[in-house]
Structure 1
Amino acid sequence: MALEAALAVLALALALAARPWRMLASARPLAHEAHGAPAALWTPLLATLAILPWAWALPTLHRMPLQLQWSGACLVLLMLGWPLAVPTLLLVGLLACLFSPGLVWTEALGLAVWSGVVPATLALLLGVLLRRLMGERSLGGVRAFVYVLGRGFLGTALCMFAAGSLAQWTGHVLPGVEGGLSLVARWLMAWGDAFVTGMLCAVFVAFKPQWLATWSDEIYLRKP
């Protein structure tokens, strides 16, 4: 518990130091694009707070032999950016604790850290690495493909599995799963997150790029 609290406080302090509220100050809540101006990030933010807490609380709301946990942290990172994603994911953990009587606050903290903050941070670092590997001379179509496939799909699977493995190493085991099967279960759950994140990422790039704080036409579509 001490480790989770320290990680949460450190991540929150770094995120707030970047003043993420500035990203939300440019438009009214739920305001969409008008006269070519991009919409703010209110829509994905409010959608995250409305949907994700229930997804996190679901395994404790029903008795199931295998409690599968969906994260969504990498998708939140792509939509909101790391400074805004961290306080949002911590708030999601708090709301999940309030929604589910079977989820105590210590478990909610661990959930917010290992299913929220840690995979989002790993996804941020992976994005920086992919940007450096792409270079400035790669074609715009290639950069867009790397964003969707590398960050949205394959990157999500790797980040979720790495975060789950770290959680297991610190003593957070999956209920109903024993021994080495825990890593297999975490690997399979990571691909569930990857499919959803990759699919929505591709849809948003095509139709709602303003909902992705990590997307930029100048970076991913410009010609070398």
Structure 2
Amino acid sequence: MIMGIFYSAVSPFWALMLAGPAVLALLHASHTLRKTQLEIPTVFSAWCASIIVLVLVWRMRVPVLPDLHLHLSGVALICLMFGRSLAITGISIAIALYTFEYDGSWLNLGVNILLMAVIPCWFSDLLLKKTQQYLPHHMFIYLFGNGFFGALLVNASAGISTVILRSLLFPDANLPADAVAYMLLLAWGEAFLVGFLVTIFAVYRPVWLQTFDDNLYLRGK
């Protein structure tokens, strides 16, 4: 995936303008966060571990330009595991840790939270609600509709959003013609991984999959 703008200097004006929606989204996430989620045994540990894993996964990257890299995203899986509010909070913490650990630009913090946390988490939540509204309430609809195809769309939307924003903020930077194609190919591969992990969690660790409702998808089937 192509995600985040950690090292290219964003102008203070755009940094503040884009940080506004990110701050509002974080405040909304903190307001709607259900703390009882973290009181469920092993969920808090899984949430903390996912933050650390995200930082490590983002570091395993293939450079395209000095501040443009291809790497796994992980955000689609986090959204399905913990839901929108908790996922936005956790991914935002991971972004701050990545910025601190690898000397990223703190001025870009709001931009990265918007691109890597807010947009994918809200889109993932929208897809989940629409599949529940219009498709049969069946376990395989969740696994394939959200775990595979949903993850593909979420990761692709995050990558495309980053490409579009980079082209607006840095019009003189030339993006390689095949970068988007490789990004979409990597999103396709990650969708298989997310679908596999979601299936494993649904069977063996359903408590880690907060968006999977047993009463909705399994009862009476």
Structure with greater contact order relative to length (CA < 8 Å, sep ≥ 6): 2
State the match for 1:10 in structure 2.
Answer: 24
State the match for 1:31 in structure 2.
Answer: none
**What's the CA shift for 1:40?**
4.7
Which of the two has greater strand per residue? 2
Q: For 2:122 and 2:33, how far apart are their aligned partners in 1?
A: 17
State the match for 1:202 in structure 2.
Answer: 199
Aligned length: 200
Secondary structure of 1:171 counterpart: helix
State the match for 2:79 in structure 1.
Answer: 77
Q: Is the contact made by 1:44 and 1:79 (CA closer than 8 Å) also made in structure 2?
A: no
Runs of 4+ aligned residues of structure 1 deviating over 4 Å after TM superposition are: none
Moved more, 197-206 or 110-119: 110-119
Q: For 1:11 and 1:187, how far apart are their aligned partners in 2?
A: 27
State the match for 2:130 in structure 1.
Answer: 129
Choose from 54, 57, 60 the match for 2:56: 54
Alignment RMSD:
2.4
Q: For 1:6 and 1:193, how far apart are their aligned partners in 2?
A: 30
- The answer for unaligned runs of 5 or more in structure 1 is 28-38
* TM-score normalised according to structure 2 size: 0.80
State the match for 1:220 in structure 2.
Answer: 217
The amino acid that maps onto 1:9 is V
Q: Is the contact made by 1:204 and 1:212 (CA closer than 8 Å) also made in structure 2?
A: yes
The amino acid that maps onto 2:157 is A
Q: Is the contact made by 1:148 and 1:202 (CA closer than 8 Å) also made in structure 2?
A: yes
Q: For 2:82 and 2:26, how far apart are their aligned partners in 1?
A: 15
- The answer for unaligned runs of 5 or more in structure 2 is 1-14
Q: For 2:190 and 2:25, how far apart are their aligned partners in 1?
A: 22
Q: For 1:2 and 1:23, how far apart are their aligned partners in 2?
A: 32
After TM superposition, the structure 1 = structure 2 runs for residues 1-224 of structure 1, keeping only pairs within 5 Å, are 1-24=15-38, 26-27=39-40, 39-59=41-61, 64-65=63-64, 67-101=69-103, 103-134=104-135, 138=136, 143-171=138-166, 178=175, 180-223=177-220
Shift in CA distance, 4/40, structure 1 to aligned 2, threshold 3 Å: farther
Identity %: 26
The amino acid that maps onto 1:22 is T
Secondary structure of 1:164 counterpart: helix
Secondary structure of 1:79 counterpart: helix
Q: For 1:185 and 1:107, how far apart are their aligned partners in 2?
A: 25
* TM-score normalised according to structure 1 size: 0.79
**What's the CA shift for 1:65?**
4.5
Q: For 1:144 and 1:189, how far apart are their aligned partners in 2?
A: 26
